[in-house]
Copies of this chain bind each other. A is one copy, B any other.
Amino acid sequence: GTAPAIVNAQQQIRWRLASSFPKSLDTIYGAAETFSKNVAEATGGKFQISVHAAGELVPAFGVVDAIQQGAIDAAHTAPYYFFGKNEAFAFDCAIPFGMNSRQQTAWMYEGNGMKLLREFYAQFSVVNFPMGNTGAQMGGWYRKPIKSPADINGLKMRIGGFGGRVLGKMGGVSQNIPGGEIYQSLEKGTIDATEWVGPYDDLKLGFHKVAPYYYYPGWWEGGAQLSLYINDKQWGALSNEYKAIVRQAASDAHVVMQARYDARNPNALKQLIAEGAKLDRFPKSVMDAAFKARNEVYKELNDTNPDWKKIYGDYAKFLADSYQWAPIADGSYDQYMSAQKL
């Protein structure tokens, strides 16, 4: 039933949120817009969060410093970008041969993920919330076929920090190239390969026209989670109602972003193949070499980075347990369905 309205007072708030992504990556960038719209709707427009594309307020990779300095109130980013600052950031996004998207969400919401990351992030004045996941990404675009680990030796690839370090152990050479220059570098042969995201985003950039071999899976990101960062003082100043609204608005954006990828990738993949992309699975020998290199990198990190080591123990146990169950009901169901004429 409905009782008479009572008087309530809530703050009027304006925040600025810096995305690490350009508007052209509409699926990822859109998660921050969904979040902002959610908060505004739930508060009758009293809590406004303006969303700014990468570079508008701060550079894509400057959002952690900007949050820490209080220059911005919030950010939406892929935490593994800050692997160079501290490798442990990557647990909030993806590590090579790590969790898939359902596992990452389960670890964050119902495992120890959120607790461990909140402790880690305190030194950066960041309060984090999961906000989107791409699902398993593709293994990228190559000018020539990859038939064995020998084909990785000397391969110049545009790939992010963590995947790049593992690739380096395999004899590959990782390159940092801004998004807008990748196509030309591939065309000229300055690089041999690039990774990006998956069919929906990749199609827009047209890499298939200059590097047609499209391998899967992206073993360095089996379920890349995006994260909402909030400056801890701004978070602390919110009323309990606004804190609840922000948390739930982020959860909704978390669902929506993955749903968008899952709804849009299938047709994009069809179109890429129609336009000449040569789809193939990485040979097992290449996957095995990468997995071995990953284990070496993790051993080094456990020996050198206490923040990494503290989180890795819990993460690795959750991962191992989860992959005892994932192939049973879900895995066998998907495998059967993938083979049917639907």
Contacts and interface: CB of A to CB of B under 8 A. Distances in A.
Contacts of A239: 44
The binding surface of chain A is classed by DSSP as helix
Interface string A249-265: 10110111011101111
Nearest to A245: B42
A43 B327 CA distance: 41
A276 interface: no
A288 to B, nearest CB: 9
A259 B99 CA distance: 13
A59 B8 CA distance: 38
A326 B333 contact: no
A329 interface: yes
Interface in A218-232: 218-219, 222
B10 A3 contact: no
A237 interface: yes
Total copies of the chain: 2
A52 B327 CA distance: 35
Contacts of A245: 42, 245, 248
A82 to B, nearest CB: 24
A252 B241 contact: no
Interface string A1-44: 11111111111111000000000000000000000001001111
Given A331-B335, A337-B222, A241 B43 contact: yes
12 contacts: A3-B13, A6-B10, A8-B9, A41-B241, A44-B240, A100-B330, A199-B325, A217-B330, A222-B330, A248-B249, A251-B251, A327-B334
